Amino acid sequence: MIRYALRCDKGHDFDSWFRSASGSDTLLAGGQVSCVVCGSTQIAKAPMAPAVPVRAAADGPQPLDAPASAAERRLAALRAHVERTSDYVGDAFAAEARDMHDGVKPERPIHGEARLEEARKLLEDGIPVAPLPFGARRKMH
């Protein structure tokens, strides 16, 4: 998200948020931004350094589908990959991982929640588990 100071052809100053610098140019050139005071669509960027918030800014609207930072986008992509390619087993994670390791159940990729103590025990027994950098999203069945 980038905030630009804008000025209409009547000299009214106001701010607007855009998803990207190129997106703002497209919207301005297409007359899709109008002055909050007089409604003019002859809008130009006022000279000002754009403000790029690290997290969701409290003082501007946010598109709901746009993660705030590159790090959050990478995390969202990783999460989507994990959720797409493995089964969510919730609190049964430790038991499921152990059963697969012991050959009780066929192996498949899973993710879920385990207490620290459970995860440590799995690793001690040579069962490969790794922490995910996000909390699992509980799915409704």
Residues that bind Zn ion (CB under 5 A): 8, 10, 12, 35, 37-38, 40
Closer residue to Zn ion in complex, CB, 40/62: 40
Min dist CB 45 to Zn ion, Å, is 14
Distances (CA, A) of 84 to 75, 81, 111, 135: 14, 5, 11, 15
Angle of CA points 109, 107, 131, to nearest 5°:
40
Three-state SS for 7? strand
CB nearer to Zn ion: pick between 16 and 114: 16
Which C-beta is closer to Zn ion: that of 8 or that of 94? 8
Least distance in Å: CB of 46 to Zn ion? 12
DSSP 65-114: T--SSHHHHHHHHHHHHHHHHSEEEETTHHHHHHHHHTTSS----EEE--
Q: Which is nearer to Zn ion, 47 or 103 (CB)?
A: 47
Least distance (Å) between residue 29 CB and Zn ion = 18
Minimum distance from residue 42 beta carbon to Zn ion (Å) = 8
